[in-house]
Amino acid sequence: MKHRKRRPPRPPIWAFILLAATSTAAEDPGAEDPFGGEVEVTLIARHKTVRDASTVRVAVLFQMADEWHIYWQNPGDSGLAPEIKWTLPNGFKISKLIWPAPHRLPAEPLMMYGYDGRCLLAADVKVPRGFRGAAKIKASVSWLVCKDVCLSGKRDLSVTLNVGQQEPTVDARWKADFARHDRLMPGPSAKGAFRAIARDGRIRLAVHRAALGKKLSADPKPGFFPGVEEMLNNAAPQKVKLTDGDVFLTLTPARGGARKRLQGVFVAHTAAGRRAWRVDVPVERKKKIAAKKKETSR
């Protein structure tokens, strides 16, 4: 907390009393809102004990009350993605955030992307070689949580990893959460799995089903989530066509959103549940010379 530094070295007692009386109002812009308990955040680690020179997955667990949601890395038409700032012991390294497959959060005429219920935002911590003992991983987490109204929040969290030479032990409390996050983490895909073609002002995403290595079900429908803000018209319905070999999605670009690449996440249901794949392909342009000539000659 910034203001602690501004305190004089020996403040008299009355100052503390006054401070206690005013601090709530001064620190918490949400104080005027009659809410509470809309989201709970906890910093968790997959393992209780780990070896040095290994990687351990940590995550911020968000538990939202009914109807409340937080946002994906691309929040969509409104909202704001959560932000996590890590503080690690010397020599430790941490990966970028690993966001699980988001959900659509429609509020006609707008479309947002995010999570409700229970979700993890994870990252992999690399423990340096030769480290022994307790390692405190700290996360400063800020978020916007919304239902029909929005609240911003911030918490400083920490989790301790015990680094030793013994066999790593999984923390049973979070096993199911991490397993679910593993399943919902957008995975890589074989080359040629996705192709994006610009046509008639739309972008057609062709998904080669065999390249995903899983059978996709038609219901619930597969969908695409743009990983870049202002790339697609978020609220425009995605037309879905499934053939034996492919899935075709018709996407609507955002106004003024001429994009060269289609980046994001493809989400579909398989026999084993919901799955996601990373998409990052150039948008191919079909040259319609004949059609263009017609237009100009008019």
Q: Which residues bind other proteins (CB under 8 A)?
A: 1-3, 6-8, 10-12, 14-15, 18-19, 22-23, 25-31, 67, 69, 77-81, 83, 85, 103-110, 112, 114, 116, 140, 142, 144, 146-154, 220-221, 223, 228-230, 255-256, 267
* Shortest distance, position 81 Cβ to other proteins, whole Å: 6
Instruction: Please tell me the distance from the alpha carbon of residue 137 to that of residue 127, in angstroms, as a whole number.
Output: 11
CB neighbourhood size of 5 (10 A):
6
Q: What are the helix (H) ranges across the chain?
A: 13-27, 175-184, 209-212, 289-297
Toward other proteins, which CB reaches closer, 54 or 152?
Answer: 152
β-strands 169-170, 93-94 pairing: unpaired
Token pair belonging to 207: 């998904």
Toward other proteins, which CB reaches closer, 80 or 211?
Answer: 80
* Shortest distance, position 273 Cβ to other proteins, whole Å: 13
Token pair belonging to 235: 């609220």
Toward other proteins, which CB reaches closer, 121 or 127?
Answer: 121
Toward other proteins, which CB reaches closer, 104 or 202?
Answer: 104
Residues 44-60 as b/e (b if ≥16 CB within 10 A, e otherwise) read: bbbbbbbbbeeebbbbb
Q: In which element (H, E) is residue 121 found?
A: strand 118-126
Toward other proteins, which CB reaches closer, 15 or 190?
Answer: 15
* Shortest distance, position 170 Cβ to other proteins, whole Å: 29
* Shortest distance, position 75 Cβ to other proteins, whole Å: 9
CB neighbourhood size of 283 (10 A):
18
Toward other proteins, which CB reaches closer, 94 or 164?
Answer: 94
* Shortest distance, position 128 Cβ to other proteins, whole Å: 26
* Shortest distance, position 268 Cβ to other proteins, whole Å: 9
Toward other proteins, which CB reaches closer, 40 or 67?
Answer: 67
Residues 141-172 as b/e (b if ≥16 CB within 10 A, e otherwise) read: bebbbbeeebbebeeebebebbbeeeeeeeee
* Shortest distance, position 230 Cβ to other proteins, whole Å: 5
Instruction: Please tell me the distance from the alpha carbon of residue 173 to that of residue 42, in angstroms, as a whole number.
Output: 12
Question: Is the distance from CB of 61 to CB of 103 less than 8 angstroms?
Answer: no
Backbone angles phi, psi at 289, to 5 degrees: -65, -45
Toward other proteins, which CB reaches closer, 56 or 276?
Answer: 276
Spatial CB neighbours of 199, under 8 Å, sequence gap ≥ 6 = 286
* Shortest distance, position 132 Cβ to other proteins, whole Å: 33
Token pair belonging to 245: 């070999």
Residues in the chain: 298
